[in-house]
Amino acid sequence: MPTEPTMPNWPTLLDLAVSQAGYLTTSQADALGFSPELLIHHMHAGRLVRVHRGIYRVSHLPSSDDEDLVVIWLWSGQRGVFSHRTALALHDLSDILPATIDLTLPAADARRRLRVPTGVVLHFADVPASERAWVGHAPVTSVLRTLQDCEALPVSPEILEQAIGDAERRGLLPRATVDGLRSVSA
């Protein structure tokens, strides 16, 4: 028996967009009953703005500090998690201002040919839910996973020590974990 098509519901679409810093994908809109033609209609009416292939912004919603990250996360099909130097900055664990955005995708995605947005550096690894957190609207690796990932990169020992110290002072990691990180990075 065929399923009934979902009737477009603007308030439900707005709720979704609000939860994603004002953005949504065509597939999310489709699941809410908004066909591509209806999205174009709302775009011409000024309610939506196309910001990337398959990604729209509700025009009247206020902007947020992390909306550039939300667009990248939506580009990844909501499979990515911000990691490495980007996660250090999001967790406010150092003075680092990364020139690029680090995004970790599932390991299986390494075989895919992706058109990576400018300024995004991809890493491939499976990040379990226990090693994920949210900062604002952005999924990010946990503090411990972030520090471990940064140890594997050419992040300066001074930046890494600052981040470990900040995590320790803020009580984000148990003492034994901090000691273990310091012994590895020494």
Please report the pLDDT score of residue 152 as a whole number: 87
Residue partners of 142: CB distance under 8 A and separation at least 6: 130, 131, 132, 133
Supply the range of the domain harboring residue 45. 10-58
114, 28: one domain: no
Please report the pLDDT score of residue 4 as a whole number: 63
> pTM score, two decimals?
0.89
Q: Is 120 among the domain residues?
A: yes
Q: Which residues does the chain have with pLDDT short of 50?
A: none
Please report the pLDDT score of residue 5 as a whole number: 63
Element (H, E) at 147: helix 143-151
Please report the pLDDT score of residue 186 as a whole number: 57
Q: Is 101 among the domain residues?
A: yes
180, 125: one domain: yes
Residue-wise pLDDT for 121-174, tens only, equals: 999 999 999 999 999 999 999 999 999 999 888 888 899 999 999 999 999 988
